Structure 1
């Protein structure tokens, strides 16, 4: 399987190619600029030589003969460059004199040449041009051949040098691109490792990656941290939902199971028992449906904006009737007015109070005596649930609302808790803008104080 290209590899190749192409374009522009400039310089040198020779002939005129030209051959040699050749042609184009035979002339020459012509002769590049001369008894032409050997060697050298520099630039740009990508992508790699670790630990690990700069990576890290917080909260709520539902559904399931067992034994023939058991079972199933809905809302942290009011005393009375057949020896004393209401759904309030009453019944070595009081305190409603149970040690009071925390000393030998009841109570109280506190003394009992905002008709 072909290995996919990493971002660092792409970055390295992209930077190397872009830098190399930029340098290559600069080299091409520079090469042709130098080529044109040096070629123009070569033309000027050749033109200067041709002008000086022509001026020399005119200066020794107006009557000049071949013998006069021969006599001044040494002076003419000094005017001609070492890589140039000059020849004098008569009116018919026949060569009558050549000076400094260093550069070849073309075999066929046009005697009407106003510009320099570049041409390859015998493997060598030359500039050649013909200039007409007319003085005295002599009419003819002066032709120059300017060798471009040095020019060609210089351009070849420049081309080779640019090629070498281009290769060096390609290697350096790749190295620089790799180093830059390593530095710039380092936080990305660390963030990737952080994500992989979070995946391996089931999103339980706290984000430890730090990046202080306010750039795209910093913004990405911020979004990642926010996302991780949301994922962590969602997983926590899901776990809480599973444990809370399993805890809260235990009681209604036990009630339904008990009545179904009763019907299975002898209730089939007794119509009154059958009707009563079916009615109680249906009521418990309806409660379970409402309970599941509330627990789902709690898990999703979604609550309706609709204000639902509930009479606290009515809920306490329902629980009193509920526990009467289950714990006939227990006494549940209720004080308060039925008109006192709180903005809490009946299902949620029943969960809160039922958990407190069940704990009072469960953790009690005496005949259970539970006092529930409801009263208005300024703009709040205070609900007090007091029992005569075994109490809670002072060092455990700050922990009893934690999930899965149980007070071992407070357990009876036949009863034990999951450590979720009071955690659910506190979660529900807080969700409906309330507060809960506790006071307890070992061997004498426990007292819970719940405060909710008082319902007003405004």
Structure 2
């Protein structure tokens, strides 16, 4: 059964359930009819016995054969019902028998209230003994009621029920198969849709339609959502791989070219050797930066969101770092030195550091950057403002996309990878924040990062 199709299982299950239900109904009906007809036969035999007793007792002490023959009603009833009656004296000796149509068992003077069912000479019958007293005669009257008609009728009913049961078995199988075909048709179409989606690498849109609001409809809705997510993920993955390959290809080619130059003749020329080594190291640093930023995106899945970080400490550390890397940069912190945010230090450093890094790269003046912290109701606003070249208005919606760069030429000279702002956007979203940007060309850019500070009770409930 493990290898059976769902349609086959459904066909057998529905067919078997319908067949068993019909069979059970037939069994109950058969025994109900059997008991009802048997009770009817007993009533008929009991009525005949009463009529015989009443007849003999009403005629008095002297009864002739002619008196019995003149009672046509009694005789017709005995003949039609295949009944036999015999009169026995007190010693159990038979003295008279009327209509020898049904055999009698061995006589027993035991009186019972109910009829006894026996089988004599392959014939099923009911018999009962009653006392009789008319005049000078005291004895017994016994009736034997043949159940031959009853047996034939039950046999016909049983044969008919067996035939109908086999017909029901065939019909139930056909009905089960038809129902399974109808009900499983949407699942088969959905299966075919999935197979086609797999063959086309999930690039094909879902064309299967099912408007009924049931479990299959819910399954289709979930499938469409998953397909959209898978398609979007694959698209992003392909774009990610393509862009990373493109970004890595250029520095690798530069390093390879300079190494080839050194291998041919440049290692004997100190000036060429120094230039090639410096350029190669610069390109390696670019590749290292790109890989590090991609790893930052990948490792942000597991973070300790309960830690709090002092903002001024992070800004101070970044000032020390950029004082060595870019001595001309001026970084200022405006806010409470004890201000904290519920973000791990590594995450907050990446957010502020990437914004500062961009402010330095996209700047034709002496970089001046202000990191400011303000409050509004339950919100803490972290602002990073610079005096750089600004961002064109039409490009603002794209700046948080991966690998998007505003100035290709400046990015190549400064070593940017186009991942910095996408890292900032993801980290801010991960810690339930919002980021907004305002910028004017040749005047500078201001990033506002808004965090809602929850109370202790709200934090506990969340």
Q: Do Structure 1 and Structure 2 share a fold, with TM-score over 0.5?
A: yes
Once the two structures are TM-superposed, the CA of residue 168 in structure 1 deviates from its matched residue by 2.6
**Rounded Cα–Cα distance in structure 1 between residues aligned with 2:247 and 2:47:** 110
**Rounded Cα–Cα distance in structure 1 between residues aligned with 2:20 and 2:106:** 45
For residues 194-230 of structure 1, what are the alpha-carbon distances to aligned partners after superposition, in whole Å with 9 as ceiling and x for unaligned?
Answer: 1111101001112222334443222322322232223
Residue number in structure 1 paired with 2:140: 141
**Rounded Cα–Cα distance in structure 2 between residues aligned with 1:422 and 1:256:** 17
**Rounded Cα–Cα distance in structure 2 between residues aligned with 1:112 and 1:151:** 26
Once the two structures are TM-superposed, the CA of residue 43 in structure 1 deviates from its matched residue by 0.9
Q: Secondary structure at the match of 2:170?
A: helix
**Rounded Cα–Cα distance in structure 1 between residues aligned with 2:265 and 2:302:** 44
Q: Secondary structure at the match of 1:72?
A: helix
Checking the alignment, whether the CA contact within 8 Å between 2:360 and 2:388 is kept in structure 1 is no
**Rounded Cα–Cα distance in structure 2 between residues aligned with 1:447 and 1:257:** 38
Residue number in structure 2 paired with 1:170: 169
CA separation of 1:245 and 1:399: change in aligned 2, threshold 3 A = closer
Q: Is 1:73 aligned to 2:73, yes or no?
A: no
Q: Secondary structure at the match of 1:249?
A: helix
**Rounded Cα–Cα distance in structure 2 between residues aligned with 1:303 and 1:43:** 86
CA separation of 1:425 and 1:119: change in aligned 2, threshold 3 A = same
Once the two structures are TM-superposed, the CA of residue 174 in structure 1 deviates from its matched residue by 2.2
- Unpaired segments of 5 or more residues in structure 1? 322-333, 358-369, 387-397, 406-416, 440-445
Once the two structures are TM-superposed, the CA of residue 278 in structure 1 deviates from its matched residue by 4.9
Once the two structures are TM-superposed, the CA of residue 246 in structure 1 deviates from its matched residue by 1.5
Checking the alignment, whether the CA contact within 8 Å between 2:126 and 2:147 is kept in structure 1 is yes
CA separation of 1:166 and 1:6: change in aligned 2, threshold 3 A = same
| Counterparts of residues 331-342 of structure 1 (less than 5 Å) | 339=332
Q: Secondary structure at the match of 1:203?
A: coil
**Rounded Cα–Cα distance in structure 1 between residues aligned with 2:244 and 2:300:** 15
Once the two structures are TM-superposed, the CA of residue 181 in structure 1 deviates from its matched residue by 1.8
**Rounded Cα–Cα distance in structure 2 between residues aligned with 1:347 and 1:245:** 22
Q: 1:453 aligns with which of 437, 448, 451?
A: 448
**Rounded Cα–Cα distance in structure 2 between residues aligned with 1:73 and 1:261:** 139
**Rounded Cα–Cα distance in structure 2 between residues aligned with 1:50 and 1:249:** 113
Once the two structures are TM-superposed, the CA of residue 380 in structure 1 deviates from its matched residue by 6.6
**Rounded Cα–Cα distance in structure 1 between residues aligned with 2:138 and 2:450:** 128
Residue number in structure 2 paired with 1:106: 104
Residue number in structure 1 paired with 2:151: 152
**Rounded Cα–Cα distance in structure 2 between residues aligned with 1:25 and 1:15:** 15
CA separation of 1:165 and 1:79: change in aligned 2, threshold 3 A = same
**Rounded Cα–Cα distance in structure 2 between residues aligned with 1:222 and 1:32:** 52
Checking the alignment, whether the CA contact within 8 Å between 1:117 and 1:127 is kept in structure 2 is yes
| Counterparts of residues 120-135 of structure 1 (less than 5 Å) | 120-135=119-134
CA separation of 1:374 and 1:204: change in aligned 2, threshold 3 A = farther
Q: Secondary structure at the match of 2:204?
A: coil
Residue number in structure 1 paired with 2:192: 193
Q: Secondary structure at the match of 2:142?
A: strand
Residue number in structure 2 paired with 1:209: 208
For residues 125-175 of structure 1, what are the alpha-carbon distances to aligned partners after superposition, in whole Å with 9 as ceiling and x for unaligned?
Answer: 211222222332222221211111221122112212222222232223222
Checking the alignment, whether the CA contact within 8 Å between 1:372 and 1:385 is kept in structure 2 is no
Checking the alignment, whether the CA contact within 8 Å between 1:438 and 1:447 is kept in structure 2 is no
For residues 329-385 of structure 1, what are the alpha-carbon distances to aligned partners after superposition, in whole Å with 9 as ceiling and x for unaligned?
Answer: xxxxx9x9655999866996799799999xxxxxxxxxxxx8998888x96747765
Checking the alignment, whether the CA contact within 8 Å between 2:10 and 2:177 is kept in structure 1 is yes
- Unpaired segments of 5 or more residues in structure 2? 335-347, 373-382, 391-396, 405-411, 429-434, 454-462
Q: Secondary structure at the match of 2:64?
A: helix
CA separation of 1:194 and 1:350: change in aligned 2, threshold 3 A = farther
CA separation of 1:436 and 1:267: change in aligned 2, threshold 3 A = farther
| Counterparts of residues 235-384 of structure 1 (less than 5 Å) | 235-261=234-260, 263-265=262-264, 268=267, 278=277, 281-282=280-281, 284-296=283-295, 339=332, 381=385
Once the two structures are TM-superposed, the CA of residue 108 in structure 1 deviates from its matched residue by 2.5
Checking the alignment, whether the CA contact within 8 Å between 2:86 and 2:98 is kept in structure 1 is yes
Once the two structures are TM-superposed, the CA of residue 265 in structure 1 deviates from its matched residue by 4.8
**Rounded Cα–Cα distance in structure 1 between residues aligned with 2:245 and 2:437:** 23
